[in-house]
C-alpha cells in the first residue's frame, strides 16, 4: 500500500479511473482532482489519455491504477486505543510501562492506516491515554488517522467502567468534572449511562443507571463547553435516559425499543450499534471458552441488534459505525471491515454501509462538511481500494493508496 502525505501549502493532482463522489457515493469515471492546502479544490472528468501536460508533468501528480476505486477514507466512531483488544489485564499493566504502551499504540495507528481508516473517535480511558495518542499523531511523531479524543469518561455513581473514567459523588461535582475533562483537551464528552450486556442472561445489563437529572446536568455542562456527548447506553432503559437527556450519540444501544429509535430519528441522535464486540464472543477463539447457553445468549443479543439496523435507517436515525476496538476480542483496525460485513448481513446496501462508515461517521465525529465525502471543499482524506466496494464490500480489505491530509 502506498501512503501519500498531503503537505499543507503544496498542490497535488490525483487521477482515478473510478471515484465514489458526493454525499451519495455516485460512481464517476475518469476523475481528476486538484488538491490545495489539503482540500479538494476541483473535480472534473478527464480521460487519462487527455490529461494536459501541465498535470502529467506536475511533480505531485498521481494516477491510480486501472480497476481501483477512489473513495472517502473510512471512519471508526468508537475505539479504545488504551486497550489492545486481546488481554484486558495485560493492557492495563502496560499503562505503567510507557515505552511499550507507546510502541503498541504506534503499531495500531499504522495498522489503521493500512486498513484505510482516516479518522477514529476514542471512547475514553481513565488515564486519558487517548489524548496522548492524539498528540502523537497531531505532533507528527507518528503517522495515524485523525483522532477525536474524549479523555476520561464520566460514569454513574458506583457504576460500570472504572477503566473508562471517574464517577462523581454528588451533583455539585459534575460541572467541576466536565470542566476538568474539557481543560484536559477532550474533543467530546463520554458518559457511561449503564453497564454492559450480559453474556449469561439474555437482555440483562449489569450495574446501576445514571440518574436522569444528573445526565441532563452533564449534557448541559458539556454544551456550555461546546462538547458533543457520546453516551454508552446498553439497555432499553439506558437508551431512553440518554434520548431524554438529548445526548449526541448513543453507543451500543442494545435492546433499544422501536419507540426510542423513532425519538432518536426525530431528535437526530446518532446510533453507533457496535455489534462486533458481542459477535466475536461467539466466534473462534473465544467460542471455546463459552457454554452452549452463553453462545445462545450472545447470538440472540447481536442478531437482534442486526435486525434493527434497517428499521433505524428507514426511520432516519443517523446510523454510524463503531467497533469498540480494544474491547475483549476486538483488535484495532481489522475489525472495522468485520463490523461492516455485519451491517451487510442486515441487508443494508453496500452504499448504505459505506455511507455509515464515511459521511455519517464524519458527522458523529464533528467533522461534518470537512471529511467523509469526496467533493470540492472537503479535505482530501481519501483512499483507493482494489475493485469497487459498491459491487463487493470485500474490496475494502485491499487498500492500495491512502491519502493523509493531516489535520
Ligand atoms: Zn467503548
CATH number at residue 122: 3.20.20.140
Residues around ion ligand 1, judged by CB within 5 A, are: 123, 324
Q: How far is the CA of 160 from the centre of ligand 1 (A)?
A: 12
Mean pLDDT of the chain: 96
Stretch 80-105: mean pLDDT, rounded? 95
Structure confidence by residue, pLDDT tens digits, 303-345: 999 999 999 999 999 999 999 999 999 999 999 999 999 999 9
153 and 51 housed in the same domain = no
CA of 326 to the centre of ligand 1 (A): 8
- Return all residues near 148 (Cβ < 8 A) that are at least 6 apart: 119, 120, 121, 122, 134, 187, 188, 365, 366
Q: Which helix (DSSP H) or strand (DSSP E) does residue 352 occupy?
A: helix 350-355
Cα distances (angstroms) measured from residue 366 to each of 47, 166, 188, 384, 403: 36, 24, 9, 24, 20
Please state the domain count of the chain. 2
Residue 206's pLDDT is 81
Going from the Cα of 147 to the center of ligand 1, the distance in angstroms, rounded, reads: 15
Domain that holds residue 377: 2-72+372-404
Q: What's the 310 CA to ligand 1 centre distance in angstroms? A: 23
Predicted confidence (pLDDT) per residue in 159-204, tens digit: 889 999 999 989 999 999 999 999 999 999 999 999 999 999 999 9
CA of residue 67 to ligand 1 center, whole Å: 37
Query: Which residues make Cβ contacts (< 8 Å) with residue 64, sequence separation at least 6?
Result: 14, 15, 16, 17, 70, 384, 400, 401
Whole-number Å distance, alpha carbon 288 to ligand 1 midpoint, is 24
What's the confidence (pLDDT) of residue 305? 97
Q: Are residues 80 and 200 in the same domain?
A: yes
- pLDDT for 84 equals 96
* pLDDT confidence tier of residue 86, bands split at 50, 70 and 90: very high
Same domain, 78 and 67: no
Query: Do the beta carbons of residue 28 and residue 19 sit within 8 Å?
Result: yes
CA–centroid distance, 79 to ligand 1, in Å, is: 6
Same domain, 84 and 67: no
Q: What is the mean pLDDT of residues 44-61?
A: 98
Phi-psi region of 52 (alpha: psi -120 to 50; beta: other; left: phi over 0): beta
* Residue 42 predicted with pLDDT over 70: yes
What pLDDT sits at residue 83?
Answer: 97
Query: If you measure from the C-alpha of residue 134 to the centroid of ligand 1, how many angstroms do you get, rounded to a whole number?
Result: 17
Tell me how far apart the alpha carbons of residues 78 and 199 are, in angstroms, rounded to a whole number.
21
Same domain, 222 and 289: yes
pLDDT beyond 70 at 122: yes
Nearest to 154 by CA among 128, 120, 134: 128
CATH number at residue 377: 2.30.40.10
Average pLDDT over residues 3-26: 96
Same domain (yes/no): 276, 193: yes
Q: What is the pLDDT of residue 159?
A: 85
Residues 351, 377, single domain; the answer is: no
Reported as a single tens digit per residue, the pLDDT across 364-377 is: 999 999 999 999 99
Q: Binning pLDDT at 50, 70 and 90, where does residue 407 land?
A: low
- Both 147 and 187 in a single domain? yes
Query: In terms of domains, do 51 and 106 share one?
Result: no
Cα-to-centroid distance, 358 and ligand 1 (Å): 19
Cβ neighbour number for residue 40 with a 10 Å cutoff: 22
pTM above 0.95, yes or no: yes
Please check whether residues 39 and 105 belong to one and the same domain: no
Does residue 268 carry a pLDDT above 90? yes
Report the share of the chain in percent with pLDDT over 90: 94
- Shared-domain flag, residues 136 and 215: yes
Q: How remote is the CA of residue 128 from the centroid of ligand 1, in Å?
A: 14
pLDDT at 207 over 80: no
Count the neighbouring beta carbons within 10 Å of the beta carbon of residue 329.
Answer: 20
**332 lies in the same domain as 196:** yes
Amino acid at each position: 500500500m502506498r501512503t501519500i502525505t498531503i503537505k499543507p501549502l503544496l498542490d497535488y493532482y490525483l487521477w482515478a479511473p473510478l471515484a465514489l463522489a458526493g454525499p451519495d457515493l455516485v460512481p464517476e469515471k475518469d476523475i481528476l482532482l486538484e488538491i490545495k492546502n489539503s482540500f479538494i479544490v476541483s473535480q472534473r472528468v478527464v480521460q487519462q489519455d487527455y490529461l494536459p501536460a501541465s498535470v502529467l508533468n506536475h511533480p505531485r501528480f498521481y494516477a491510480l491504477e486501472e480497476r481501483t476505486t477512489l473513495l472517502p477514507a473510512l471512519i471508526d466512531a468508537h475505539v479504545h486505543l488504551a486497550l489492545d483488544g486481546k488481554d484486558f489485564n495485560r493492557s492495563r499493566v502496560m499503562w505503567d510501562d510507557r515505552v511499550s504502551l507507546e510502541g503498541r499504540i504506534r503499531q495500531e495507528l499504522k495498522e489503521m492506516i493500512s486498513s484505510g481508516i482516516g479518522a477514529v473517535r476514542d471512547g475514553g480511558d481513565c488515564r486519558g491515554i487517548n489524548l496522548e495518542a492524539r498528540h502523537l499523531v497531531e505532533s507528527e511523531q507518528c503517522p495515524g488517522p485523525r483522532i477525536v479524543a474524549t479523555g476520561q469518561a464520566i460514569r454513574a455513581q458506583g457504576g460500570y467502567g472504572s477503566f473508562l473514567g471517574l464517577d462523581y459523588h454528588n451533583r455539585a461535582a459534575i460541572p467541576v468534572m466536565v470542566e476538568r475533562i474539557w481543560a484536559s483537551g477532550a474533543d467530546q464528552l463520554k458518559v457511561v449511562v449503564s453497564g454492559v450486556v450480559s453474556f449469561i442472561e439474555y437482555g440483562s445489563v449489569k450495574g446501576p443507571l445514571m440518574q436522569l437529572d444528573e445526565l441532563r446536568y452533564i449534557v448541559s455542562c458539556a454544551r456550555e463547553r461546546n462538547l458533543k456527548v457520546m453516551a454508552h447506553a446498553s439497555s432499553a432503559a439506558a437508551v431512553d435516559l440518554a434520548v431524554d437527556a438529548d445526548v449526541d450519540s448513543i453507543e451500543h444501544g442494545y435492546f433499544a425499543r422501536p419507540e426510542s429509535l423513532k425519538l432518536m430519528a426525530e431528535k437526530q441522535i446518532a446510533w453507533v450499534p457496535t455489534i462486533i464486540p458481542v459477535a466475536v464472543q461467539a466466534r473462534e477463539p473465544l467460542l471455546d471458552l463459552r457454554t452452549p447457553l452463553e453462545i445462545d445468549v450472545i447470538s440472540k443479543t447481536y442478531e437482534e441488534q442486526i435486525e434493527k439496523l434497517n428499521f433505524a435507517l428507514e426511520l432516519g436515525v443517523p446510523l454510524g459505525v463503531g467497533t469498540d476496538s480494544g474491547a475483549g476480542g476486538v483488535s484495532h483496525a481489522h475489525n472495522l471491515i468485520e463490523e461492516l460485513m455485519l451491517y451487510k448481513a442486515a441487508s443494508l446496501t453496500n452504499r448504505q454501509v459505506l455511507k455509515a462508515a464515511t459521511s455519517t461517521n464524519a458527522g458523529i465525529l464533528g467533522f461534518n462538511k470537512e471529511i467523509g465525502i469526496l467533493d470540492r471543499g472537503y479535505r482530501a482524506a481519501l483512499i483507493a481500494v482494489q475493485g469497487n466496494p459498491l459491487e463487493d464490500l470485500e474490496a475494502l480489505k485491499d487498500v492500495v493508496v491512502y491519502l493523509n491530509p493531516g489535520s
